[in-house]
Amino acid sequence: MGSGGKYTGDGFDDISSGYKKERVYSLGDAYDRKKKNPSTTSKSIEEEKIVEKPGKNKRLKRSAARREAEERNERKEKKIVRPLEKVMRPAPEKRETSVASDKKRSYYDFSIIVIVLFLLVAGLFSLYSVSYYSSAKYYGDAMFYVKRQAIFAVIGFALMIGVSFVPYHFYTGSIKIGKFGTRPVFLFYLICIVLEMAILLMGIAAGGSKRWIQLGPIKFEPAEINKVAVILMTALLIGKSARDAGKLFEFFRVLVFVMAGLILPIAKQNLSSGIIMFAIAFVICFVGSDKKRWWIVLLIIGVLAAIILVKSEGYRGGRFIKWFEVETNPNSYQVREGLYAIASGGMFGKGFGQGTVKLGYLVEGHTDEIFASICEEIGVFGIACLLLIYLLLIWRIKVIADNAPDAEGGLICVGVMVQIAVQVALNICVATSVIPSTGVTLPFFSYGGTALVILLVEIGLVLSVSMRITE
Could you tell me what percent of the chain has a pLDDT over 70? 68
CA dihedral (437, 441, 446, 450) positive or negative: positive
Query: Distance between CA atoms of 235 and 224, rounded to whole angstroms?
Result: 17
The pTM of the full predicted model, rounded to 2 decimals, is 0.73
In terms of average pLDDT, the best of 252-261, 302-311, 409-418 is 409-418
What letter would DSSP give residue 270? -
Task: Kindly report the backbone phi and psi dihedral angles of residue 5, in degrees, each rounded to the nearest multiple of 5, phi listed first.
Answer: -100, 140
Cβ–Cβ under 8 Å, residues 88 and 96: no
* pLDDT over 60 (residue 257): yes
Buried b (16+ CB within 10 A) or exposed e, 17-39: bebbbbebbbbbeeeeeeeeeee
Query: Distance between CA atoms of 52 and 402, rounded to whole angstroms?
Result: 68
Strand partners, 30: 27
Cβ–Cβ under 8 Å, residues 262 and 271: no
The tens digit of pLDDT for each residue in 290-341 reads 777 777 888 888 788 777 766 665 555 566 666 666 666 666 777 788 888 8
Query: Distance between CA atoms of 35 and 32, rounded to whole angstroms?
Result: 6
* pLDDT over 90 (residue 275): no
Strand partners, 12: 7, 21
Nearest to 226 by CA among 183, 270, 182: 270
Rounded to 5°, the CA angle 362-368-371 comes to: 75
198 vs 107, residue with greater confidence: 198
* pLDDT over 50 (residue 132): yes
Strand partners, 182: 175
Enumerate residues 6+ apart whose C-beta is below 8 A from 128. Answer: 142, 143, 145, 146
- Count CB atoms within 10 A of the CB of residue 65: 8
Name the region of 144 (left: φ>0; alpha: ψ -120 to 50; beta: rest).
Answer: alpha
Position 318, amino acid: G
396 vs 435, residue with greater confidence: 396
DSSP strands (E only) in 216-337: 218-220
Query: Distance between CA atoms of 444 and 456, rounded to whole angstroms?
Result: 9
> In the chain, count of helices (H) and strands (E)?
17, 10
Query: Distance between CA atoms of 125 and 68, rounded to whole angstroms?
Result: 80
* pLDDT over 60 (residue 378): yes
* pLDDT over 70 (residue 44): no
Cβ–Cβ under 8 Å, residues 109 and 466: yes
38 vs 277, residue with greater confidence: 277
Q: How far is CA 248 from CA 100, 170, 241, 254, in A?
A: 39, 29, 13, 10
The tens digit of pLDDT for each residue in 193-250 reads 888 888 888 877 766 667 888 887 788 888 899 999 999 999 988 887 655 555 666 7
pLDDT band with cut points at 50, 70 and 90 for residue 433: confident
Enumerate residues 6+ apart whose C-beta is below 8 A from 317. Answer: 310, 311
Enumerate residues 6+ apart whose C-beta is below 8 A from 152. Answer: 449, 452, 453
Query: Distance between CA atoms of 471 and 169, rounded to whole angstroms?
Result: 12
Across residues 22-38, what is the average pLDDT? 46
Q: What per-residue confidence (pLDDT) applies to 181? A: 61
CA dihedral (111, 459, 238, 423) positive or negative: negative
